[in-house]
Amino acid sequence: MFAVTATQTDPDNPLAGLTLGEHPEPQVPDGWTTVTVRATALNHHDLWTLKGVGIRQDRLPIVLGCDAAGVDADGNEVIVHAVIGSGADETLDPKRSLLSEVHDGTFAERVAVPRRNLVPKPAALTFEEAACLPTAWLTAYRMLFDKAGLEPGSTVLVQGAGGGVATALIALGRAGGYRVWATSRSAAKREQAVKLGADQVFEPGARLPERVDAVMETVGQATWDHSLKSLKPGGRIVVCGATSGAVPPADLNRVFFLQLSVIGSTMGTRDQLQRLAVFLEQTGLRPVIDRTMPLSDARDGFAALAEGDIFGKIVFTR
């Protein structure tokens, strides 16, 4: 079958290890099944894998990709939950992994997954839309509606509008009744954020009209100081990533004096993915797709992601 794999890693030239071509059919352990992939979405996780982050060298070559929507062995239209783990909250399983870390991922004609990882795809969602949900949109859903602890009408600052999680945060926040503010270095992306539902947009580090109830942080070191200074006393930062660096100055004096909370959030549960799909079905909200392209053109999609030349998700189709 055709697949997109990581055959080597290079932190300076990640696309050097990106290989497109024939790959063996997936093996199916007991309790697992296969899904014929109709659409799959690109994430920063895939680029980080090619850089050598979060992947053991003895796992190579491995099929990339965390997200997929397709048809299972029984003919059901499904969304694939990317977290391989056990327990009531599989994200807290110390042995958890994502597809494409230990097991082959979704950038292929077929992928093997545990049966418990399949979520029914609402008929109202296209395969392309559904494929955007398991990583970026699920991460944003959990950050906003689980970890942030906010009521509708609260003010949320989203740092770094443009990426998959950030655009999902803006759209979900608006649909959930929050007042959403967003930052971006790009004037074009700030304009797009307003069209998506942001109430106000700002350049990074800008002084805000007032302090916010919570900050959704995916950028890390470059925006951390601004995130802390933007919070009301008792506010919280929900952080799911650190694309610009993971070790910013903590500013602990501000944290304890203003009783701020820093909450980590990773992915989401299978049940949260199912509720997210229902949320989109009921509200009419749909993922922002920057572009759709054949899986055979995956190299172009990776290059665009590496350059940051996107707003929303890049989706590959078969």
pLDDT of residue 162: 84
DSSP per-residue letters across 18-35: EEEEE-PPPP--TTEEEE
Task: Enter the CATH code of domain 2-132+287-317.
Answer: 3.90.180.10
- CA-to-CA distance for 177 and 181, rounded, in angstroms? 13
Query: 137-264 falls under which CATH superfamily?
Result: NAD(P)-binding Rossmann-like Domain (3.40.50.720)
Show Cβ contacts of residue 257 under 8 Å, excluding neighbours closer than 6 positions: none
**Which residues does the chain have with pLDDT short of 50?**
none
The pTM of this model reads 0.95
Q: Is 308 exposed, middle or buried (0-12, 13-18, 19+ CB in 10 A)?
A: middle
pLDDT of residue 217: 96
Residue with tokens 């597809």: 99
pLDDT of residue 310: 87
Show Cβ contacts of residue 97 under 8 Å, excluding neighbours closer than 6 positions: 83, 84, 85, 103
How much of the chain is helix, strand and coil, in % rounded to 5? 30, 30, 40
pLDDT of residue 108: 98
Q: Is there a contact between 173 and 155 (Cβ–Cβ < 8 Å)?
A: no
Q: Is there a contact between 237 and 260 (Cβ–Cβ < 8 Å)?
A: yes
Residues 202-216: b if buried by 16+ CB within 10 A, e if exposed: beeeeeeeeebbbbb
3-class secondary-structure state, position 10: coil
Q: State the virtual CA torsion across 303, 307, 310, 312 in degrees, nearest 10.
A: 80
User: Residues 158-208: pLDDT tens digits?
Assistant: 999 988 899 999 999 999 999 999 999 999 999 999 999 999 999 999 999
pLDDT of residue 181: 98
pLDDT of residue 101: 97
- Indicate the domain borders of the chain: 2-132+287-317, 137-264
